[in-house]
Structure 1
Amino acid sequence: MNELKGKVAIVTGAGQGVGQGIAFALSDLGASIVVAGRTFSKLETSVAEIESRGGRAIAVACDVNDLDSLENLVAQTIEHLGGIQILVNNAQEVPLGTLMEVSDEAFTSGFTSGPLATHRLMKLCYPYLKGDGCIINLGSTAARRWDMRGYGAYGGIKEAIRCLTRAAACEWGKDGIRTNVILPHATSPALGWWIENNPEESAEFISTIPMQRVGDCEQDIGRFVARLCTEDSAYVNGQSIALDGGQGLIG
């Protein structure tokens, strides 16, 4: 269980939910983790759990909307852990609602914290990832829904991340960097809020998942991501991988 020993992973939004589950799973395979996010108390909780399992982690406060903050995240990682082999772009604000409901401010926040932050952090980490790097970006199957009502802005933002991922895979594969995107359904706080506030729609949504459940942040999502970063997946590059119990049809 030490396939990632000696590797350093940055995980944004790792204070809770999917990011936290990914951080735990990467640590369990031996990686040292940079737990990044806006709420430092949540980051400290994640670090404490990793350390209680015998892992190594540091917390770095980071607002992915801000370029200076992203630059500081990379600088702190290099200063304290000496390198970067894994980057997980997870943190993001998402614009929810119909096209008429989504404001310019919400759409802009979604773009800045999503595709732009992903692009920025990939470029900042690129020099350190060369030779033995793995990037995992977070997409969504929302854009693959047959009925896109209420999900146009959200799906559009996430599809931009898929395009950036594919471009990075094609441009940087020769540099020893693999880039993939996962499209997960997971029991994150955000999805929990949506389920609670949309009981009828969420029940219908879950009924369309062949496995009839939403995935666990660590067991179903985190462990897959960790395995994707090992040598077992050394030839997997440029792929969009739905971790959704079989619901989405990804083309």
Structure 2
Amino acid sequence: MQLEHKVAIITGGAGGIGQGIVRRFLDEGAKVLVVDIVPQEAGEALVAELADGRDAAYLRSDIAVAENAPAIVAAAVERFGRLDALVNNAHASKQAPIVETTQEMWDLSLGTGMMATFHLMQAAYPELVKTRGAIVNFASGAGIKGLPNQVTYAAAKEGIRAITRVAANEWAADGIRVNLVSPIALTPGIAQWAEAFPAEYREVVDGVPLGRLGDPKDDIAPVVVFLASEASQYVTGQTIMADGGSIKLT
């Protein structure tokens, strides 16, 4: 129970990697506010199923709207009394070659990715100071390697990495740790990408030394748990590659 008595906000927790993280955080004793854009009633039913009697709540909110960030943090504190961890998992984007990339695609990726991460970090800061808490953001091999057809997604992810490193330095004196996870996992989103760009998908899978894509709950979420727990009390500003060995940062 690495997260017993801790309270976490997890964005994009209704599906994919986010749902795996929610499941694992609950298994580790955390109380969780799941934030997503699934309609409220359906989200509440899903979270009740995931929680299975444990303490979790659902909030429907569009993280791309900057004004929603303080309300998200306030909802977690009002429900659970504190905030120990912020997991900025949610991110939406559309893939296209650079010459076909539109302003709408930029707005979607930056709004739900880099800017949403920034605004939630900013809103969570006063509460995380109180608990000397942790932030876990998400990077991607798409940005680190510069994968084709992913310019808006890659740029947003590298922007998140920059924000994370700055925050790790600025907020270290407050006891707040800020780290990144760069995963490869088999999710519905990856399945859609594979259908649209099969050659690029095959290249990614063939480049995984451990021979498979990760499982959201069993392979990716434990890394997030570690970074949100006291076990990582001396780790900040780092990009942790949960990708089966695909990229080896130095």
**Which residue identity is paired with 1:172?**
W
Question: 1:14: how far off?
Answer: 0.3
Contact 1:139/1:162, CA 8 A, preserved across alignment = yes
Alignment of 1:177-192 (within 5 A): 177-192=176-191
Query: Corresponding residue for 2:152?
Result: 153
Query: Corresponding residue for 2:12?
Result: 13
TM-score where L is the length of structure 1:
0.93
Larger displacement relative to structure 2 (28-37 or 105-114): 105-114
Distance 1:199 1:156 in 2: 22
**Which residue identity is paired with 1:44?**
E
Unaligned runs of 5+ in 1: none
Question: 1:222: how far off?
Answer: 0.8
Contact 1:67/1:120, CA 8 A, preserved across alignment = yes
Contact 2:33/2:57, CA 8 A, preserved across alignment = yes
Unaligned runs of 5+ in 2: none
Larger displacement relative to structure 2 (40-49 or 171-180): 40-49
Larger displacement relative to structure 2 (226-235 or 216-225): 226-235
The percent identity for this pair of structures is 36
Distance 1:148 1:13 in 2: 23
1:193 matches 2:182:
no
Alignment of 1:1-251 (within 5 A): 2-40=1-39, 43-52=43-52, 54-130=53-129, 131-145=131-145, 148-251=147-250
Contact 2:205/2:213, CA 8 A, preserved across alignment = yes
Contact 1:14/1:35, CA 8 A, preserved across alignment = yes
Q: Deviations over 1:107-137 (max 9, x none)?
A: 1221111111111000100011014211000
Distance 1:94 1:159 in 2: 14
Q: Quickly say closer, same or farther: Cα 1:148–1:226, change in 2 above 3 A.
A: closer
Distance 1:149 1:8 in 2: 38
Larger displacement relative to structure 2 (221-230 or 31-40): 221-230
Distance 2:204 2:3 in 1: 36
SS at match of 1:100: helix
SS at match of 2:67: helix
SS at match of 2:126: helix
Question: 1:199: how far off?
Answer: 3.2
SS at match of 1:67: coil
TM-score where L is the length of structure 2:
0.94
Aligned length: 248
**Which residue identity is paired with 2:115?**
L
Distance 2:94 2:200 in 1: 18
Q: Deviations over 1:50-96 (max 9, x none)?
A: 322x4210001110111232222112111111111000001111242
**Which residue identity is paired with 2:236?**
N
SS at match of 2:57: strand
